[in-house]
Structure 1
Amino acid sequence: MINETIKKGILQYREELTALRRKLHSEPELSWEEYNTTNFVCDYLGQLGISYRRTEPTGVIATIHGGKPGKTVALRGDMDALSVEELNQALPYASKYPGKMHACGHDAHTAMLLIAAKVLNERKADLPGNVRLLFQPAEEVAEGAKAFVKQGAVDDVDNVFGIHIWSQMPTGTVSCTAGPSFASADLFKVTFKGKGGHGALPHACVDTAIVASSFVMNVQSIVSRTIDTQQPAVVTIGKMDVGTRFNVIAENAVIEGTVRCFDPEVRDHIESQLQHYADQVAALYGATAKLEYTRGTQAVINDEESAKLAQNIVHEAFGENALYHEKPTMGGEDFSDYFKKAPGCFALVGSGNPEKDTEWAHHHGKFNIDEDALVVGAELYAQYAWGYLNK
C-alpha cells in the first residue's frame, strides 16, 4: 500500500516544506481575505504544471490527472488565519501583521498539501485516477467548505480526505478513528426586552439584567437534565450585553452562545429547549424573548472504510506506535460539508512537543507547531491518495 518513492520524495523536499510553512505563517490572511495566499498557491501549482482554477472570492481547486484511468480522490487543506495577536515575536517567521495570526495550523495544512501535490505530480504517470486538490478559504467562519461545494470542488469525487495539525497529540502520531470526530457547531442569540427606567425605581421597571442572569444560570440544565447522559453536548454562553449605565434599569439584554453535539436529534432538542427556556424565563419576569439560532457546521463523522484505510497507511508508513486514538472533540470543522457529496475521513496529525513549546491550545497567541510534524502530514496526504486510488 505504501509507495516508497513518495516517502523519499517528501523527505527530499523537507527543507522546502518548512520554508513554505514559515512564509505562510508570517503572512496570515483572515477568512475571505486570502488573496495573496491564493496567488501564492496558484503560482506554485503553475510552476509544477498542475492545472488549477481560482474560486470566488478566494481559494484554489486543482487536479492532478493520473496516467491511468480510475477514481478521483480529493485532498483538502484550509488556508485562513485568525484575528489573534501573535505572542511568538521571537520567532523569525512570526506574523508580520498585528492582530492576525495562523493560530490553528492552516499554514501547515497549505504547505503540506503543496508538497504532497509536488510529489504526486512527479509520479502522476503511475496514478490510476485523479487527485483533486482543495485549497480552501474561510474554514474559521464555517463558510469555505459550503462555498467550495457550490463551486464544484467535489463534483465527480469518489472520496475526500483532510488533515488537521493537533497540538494536543505528540509529534509523530496520527489519529483517524471511524465515527464522530468533530461536533456540530451552532450559534445562538437571545434578545430579552423589558422596561427600562431609573435605578432607584426598580418596581416600575422590568429589569433584563435579572432576566438574562436567570437564563444563564438555568440554561445549563438543558444538558444536565434533559439530554441522555450518554450523549455528549455543550451549551456555552460566551457573551452578554446588558444595560447602558450604572443607574439605569436595563431595558434590553442580548446573550450569545454556542451549541456543540454529535447527534442530530440532540441538536434539534437543544434548539427547541433554548426557545422554551428563553420564553419561560422572560414570562416569569414580565419580559419578552427572541431566539435566533444559526446552524453552523455539521458533525464530522468519519466513514469506517476510509478511516480504516488511513489507519493502515499510518501503520505502514510511520509504524505501529504512530497510531493514536484521540477522543472526539467538541470543536467544529466545516470539512463535514464535503461528506454530503462523497465519503471520506478526517485525520489529526500530532504536533505537540514540550521541548519545542508546541503544546499550546489552538487559537492561542503562543500556538506553534513542531515542524517535524510537517513531513508526517505531507506524506499522509500523498500516501492516502495513492492508497485509495490503488486499492
Structure 2
Amino acid sequence: MINEKIKQGIKKYGEELTAIRRKLHSEPELSWEEYETTKFVSDYLTQLGIEHRKTEPTGVIANIKGGKPGKTVALRADMDALPVEELNTELPYASKEKGKMHACGHDAHTAMLLIAAKVLNEQKEDIPGNVRLIFQPAEESVTGAKAMVEQGAVEGVDNVFGIHIWSQMPTNRVSCNPGPTFASADIFTVTFKGRGGHGAMPHDTIDAAVIASSFVMNVQSVVSRTINPLQPAVVTVGKMVVGTRFNVIAENAVIEGTVRCFDGATRDHIEKQLQIYAENVANVYGATAKVDYIRGSQAVINDEDSAKLVQQVAADAFGVESLYDEKPTMGGEDFSFYLDEVPGSFALVGSGNPEKDTEWAHHHGKFNVDEDALVTGSELYAQYAWVYLNK
C-alpha cells in the first residue's frame, strides 16, 4: 500500500530534514510569536510552488492539489517553543534565545511536515485528492488549533492526522491506538479572602494561608472519593500565592491548578466539585471563595478506523516490529479541536535513545530529539496521506 517513491524521497532529503530541524531549534519562538518561523515555512513552500496562505497572527495553511479527483486529508504540525532555559548548551544548534527552547519537539514536527510536503508535492500528479498542510502556532498555550479551525484549516477536509515526537518511547517506534490518547487539560484558579492581621493576634483574623492549605489537602479527595476509580482523572495544584510577611496573617490566597481526564461527565463533575469544596472550606473559616474554571483542550480521542490505518501504514512502511503500545497520557494536546470537526488520529513517534541522551521528559531543559526519528516521522506523515487518499 505504501509508496516506494515517497520512502526513497524522504531518505534522499534526510540531511535537509535534520538541517531544518536544527535551524528551527536554534531559533525558538513562543506561542503567538512565531513570526520568523511562519516566514521560514512560507518561504519554503513558495520555493516548492505549494499554494498557501498565512494565518493571523502566525501560522500557515497550505494545499497540495493532486492530479486526480478525491478526498482531502490534513496533516498538522505545531511550531511554538516553550519559556524553558536550554541546558544542552554544548549542542551546535542550541537555542540562541535565552529563556526560550524547543523543549517539546515542535521544531521536529515542523521540519518533518515540510519534507513530507516536498516529497508529496513531487508525487502530486499521482495523488487522488488533496493534502492540506497545517503549520499551527500556539499549541503550548492550547489556543492555536482552535484559532486555525476558525480560520478554515479543516474546511473541506475529510480526515486529519497529526504526529508528536515522544521521548518516552524507543526511537522509531510508532504508537497510535484507537480511543483516548491525550487528556483534556483545564485550568482553575481559586481565590480565598479572609481577614488579615498581626501574626501575634490570630484570634482577630481569618487566616487565608490556613484556608488555602486546607483546600489543597482536601481537594484530592475529589478524585479519590467521588470519581469512579476506573475513570482516570488528575487534580493538581501547581501554584499557591499567600501572605506578604513572616509576622502578618494573610488576608488573601490564590491557588492555581489543572484538571486532566478523558471523560466529559467526569470533567463536568470535577469542575462542580471544585466549586463546592472551595465554598465549603471558606465557610468553615468564615471566609469567601471565588473559583474561575477555564476549559482548555478537549481529550484527544482517536477515531478507530483512522488509528488502525496509521498502524497499518507504519507496519507496511517500517515493519510490524515498529508498532508500540503506548498507554494514554494525562498530558494535553489541542489537536483535539481538529478532531471535534473531522475524524482523524494522532500518533506518537519514539525518539528516546539512552545512548544519545534523548530520554529526558518533554518540557525539561535537557530535552532533545534523536534525529534518526525525523525520517520516520516525515515518512509517516507522507505515507498516511498517500494511503488514506488511495484506500
Same-fold call, TM cutoff 0.5: yes
What is the aligned partner in structure 1 of residue 254 from structure 2? 254
Instruction: Name the CA distance, whole Å, in 2 between partners of 1:342 and 1:109.
Output: 21
What is the aligned partner in structure 1 of residue 362 from structure 2? 362
Aligned residue identity for 1:252: N
Note if 1:279 corresponds to 2:279: yes
What is the aligned partner in structure 1 of residue 158 from structure 2? 158
What is the aligned partner in structure 2 of residue 172 from structure 1? 172
Question: Any idea what SS the aligned residue of 1:129 has?
Answer: strand
Instruction: Name the CA distance, whole Å, in 2 between partners of 1:317 and 1:121.
Output: 19
Question: Any idea what SS the aligned residue of 1:103 has?
Answer: coil
Question: Any idea what SS the aligned residue of 1:283 has?
Answer: helix
What is the aligned partner in structure 1 of residue 34 from structure 2? 34
Instruction: Name the CA distance, whole Å, in 2 between partners of 1:208 and 1:261.
Output: 29
Once the two structures are superposed, the pairs formed by residues 337-356 of structure 1 within 5 Å of their partners are 337-356=337-356
Question: Any idea what SS the aligned residue of 1:229 has?
Answer: coil
What is the aligned partner in structure 2 of residue 114 from structure 1? 114
> How big is the alpha-carbon RMSD for the aligned residues of Structure 1 and Structure 2?
0.4
Instruction: Name the CA distance, whole Å, in 2 between partners of 1:98 and 1:92.
Output: 15
Aligned residue identity for 1:81: A
Question: Any idea what SS the aligned residue of 1:125 has?
Answer: helix
Question: Any idea what SS the aligned residue of 1:334 has?
Answer: coil
What is the aligned partner in structure 2 of residue 289 from structure 1? 289
1:123-152 deviation line (CA, Å, top 9, x unaligned): 000000000000000000000000000000
- Stretches of structure 1 that go unaligned for 5 or more consecutive residues are none
Instruction: Name the CA distance, whole Å, in 2 between partners of 1:307 and 1:48.
Output: 30
Instruction: Name the CA distance, whole Å, in 2 between partners of 1:130 and 1:69.
Output: 8
Note if 1:19 corresponds to 2:19: yes
Note if 1:265 corresponds to 2:265: yes
What is the aligned partner in structure 2 of residue 218 from structure 1? 218
> Following TM superposition, where does structure 1 have runs of at least 4 consecutive aligned residues deviating by more than 4 angstroms?
none
Q: Give the C-alpha shift of residue 218 in structure 1.
A: 0.4
Question: Any idea what SS the aligned residue of 1:327 has?
Answer: coil
Note if 1:104 corresponds to 2:104: yes
Question: Any idea what SS the aligned residue of 2:335 has?
Answer: helix
Instruction: Name the CA distance, whole Å, in 1 between partners of 2:342 and 2:221.
Output: 37
Note if 1:374 corresponds to 2:367: no
- Stretches of structure 2 that go unaligned for 5 or more consecutive residues are none
Instruction: Name the CA distance, whole Å, in 2 between partners of 1:255 and 1:227.
Output: 22
What is the aligned partner in structure 1 of residue 306 from structure 2? 306
TM-score by length of 2: 1.00
1:234-279 deviation line (CA, Å, top 9, x unaligned): 0000000001111111000000000000000000000000001001
Identity %: 78
Q: Give the C-alpha shift of residue 341 in structure 1.
A: 1.4
Instruction: Name the CA distance, whole Å, in 2 between partners of 1:89 and 1:244.
Output: 37
Question: Any idea what SS the aligned residue of 1:92 has?
Answer: coil
Q: What is the number of equivalent residue pairs in this alignment?
A: 391
Instruction: Name the CA distance, whole Å, in 2 between partners of 1:23 and 1:213.
Output: 46
Instruction: Name the CA distance, whole Å, in 2 between partners of 1:113 and 1:120.
Output: 10
TM-score by length of 1: 1.00
